[in-house]
Structure 1
């Protein structure tokens, strides 16, 4: 059981993560280090965080329901890649030695921070490619979504940034419709990994409950006000949290 202040901190982190995930992704850079900071082992923190963020992923996707109109067939096809990738990533998280997670995750967080920083350039690159995009994405998009699913199942921070870059590179769609599709695919990844973790992993249910409550609130309101958040400020906060997480994992 979490202490009261630890639980409140986890709820607050969940609110922030849910809002950030609805807008761009990278919310796990808030919740994961928070759960580690309050004393959970890294793998248990990652598993509990993943399960707790599922309700927030749903509320974020629901908030973008208007932008999802006309994308059902595409998302059904891509969701299969997300689910399969998530199963593989979640399986790797459980079967690999926990020491591997401690070594790999700081690298992944660093990569996530870099992706967050270069997102404006990535968005311009997406716009330049959009006129040449395949109308249905093609097999390369499916493989890209599968790879993002593997990453998300293993450690989900910034999977939203990855998905926005991948989807925007292959689809002739505006950024808001791409973001809506990203929210659905992130939901598929998180839900699939959560089901797997329920069967084969150790879970701290108090942490799950705290993150779930916060992320549900944050996901809904994040989707409503996401376009008003100053992007440079949001990126700066995420990168700072990521640096703290790296230091905590390497030297904590």
Structure 2
């Protein structure tokens, strides 16, 4: 049984992760190292992190009901394809190691960080009806995003933000709210799969999840008062930092 100090440490780490998730889609920058610090092996820390991440999505969804009003059909549409992709990604992870994919991930994340900044120009355009080929491409991208979330997951929320920016004409705070819901659904699918195929440290996951719920809930309040351009810069900086970490891990160790 973990000590009280360990549980408090996990709670604080969860709050930090929840804030980072709802604001910058980078919960694992805080939550994953916390799980490693309390002695959970890396593979199981990743699975336990998924178990707690769901509560970030729940907290941010409750907090962003105002932004989600009138957008639930979009959430259901995007979420359906992301969940299907996540199921595929989970099964791929169980069947094949992710070592080769890890070589590509740093560049994938860095590219997403750049696109977060560049995609801001998209919303300076007037809303318009997209041709059929763009809609089909969007569906394919959502499926791929789900596969990525289930298979690897690093900075998945950032990539979803970029994708939704291009497939919708919504404000950034609405895009972020939709992202929180569909990423939460993808994480839920991953948890269900891994609960039967791996080992989750539930005692450590509970305080982490409580913290993530708190952080996810209050993170939306931050987004309402901070200009979107500064949030985009913050997300991009964190994406570059995470890309650097995975580059070091894949090529330097």
What is the TM-score when the length of structure 2 is the normalising length? 0.83
Task: Provide the residue aligned with 2:181 in structure 1.
Answer: 184
> CA 1:138 to 1:158, structure 2 compared with 1: closer, same or farther past 3 Å?
same
- Secondary structure class of the residue paired with 1:70: coil
- Residues 33-67 of structure 1 show CA distances to partners (whole Å, capped at 9, x for unaligned) of 33234432222111110111101111111211111
CA distance in structure 1 between the partners assigned to 2:101 and 2:176 by the alignment: 27
Within the alignment, does 1:139 sit opposite 2:136 as a pair? Answer: yes
- Secondary structure class of the residue paired with 2:153: coil
1:116 corresponds, among 113, 127, 131, to 113
CA distance in structure 2 between the partners assigned to 1:228 and 1:63 by the alignment: 14
> CA 1:88 to 1:138, structure 2 compared with 1: closer, same or farther past 3 Å?
same
> CA 1:210 to 1:116, structure 2 compared with 1: closer, same or farther past 3 Å?
farther
8 Å Cα contact 2:14/2:211 also seen in 1: yes
Give 1:187-226 correspondences, 5 Å limit: 187-226=184-223
CA distance in structure 1 between the partners assigned to 2:176 and 2:58 by the alignment: 14
- Secondary structure class of the residue paired with 2:26: coil
- Secondary structure class of the residue paired with 1:203: coil
> CA 1:10 to 1:26, structure 2 compared with 1: closer, same or farther past 3 Å?
same
> CA 1:221 to 1:143, structure 2 compared with 1: closer, same or farther past 3 Å?
same
8 Å Cα contact 1:19/1:218 also seen in 2: yes
> CA 1:128 to 1:243, structure 2 compared with 1: closer, same or farther past 3 Å?
same
8 Å Cα contact 2:79/2:182 also seen in 1: yes
- Give the superposition deviation at 1:77: 2.1
- Give the superposition deviation at 1:221: 0.6
Unaligned ranges ≥5, structure 1: none
Task: Provide the residue aligned with 1:77 in structure 2.
Answer: 77
Unaligned ranges ≥5, structure 2: none
RMSD across aligned positions (CA):
3.0
- With 21-30 and 79-88 compared, the bigger mean Cα shift is at 21-30
- With 39-48 and 189-198 compared, the bigger mean Cα shift is at 39-48
> CA 1:165 to 1:235, structure 2 compared with 1: closer, same or farther past 3 Å?
closer
- Give the superposition deviation at 1:219: 0.3
What is the TM-score when the length of structure 1 is the normalising length? 0.83
> CA 1:114 to 1:140, structure 2 compared with 1: closer, same or farther past 3 Å?
closer
- With 142-151 and 36-45 compared, the bigger mean Cα shift is at 36-45
Task: Provide the residue aligned with 1:167 in structure 2.
Answer: 164
Task: Provide the residue aligned with 1:20 in structure 2.
Answer: 20
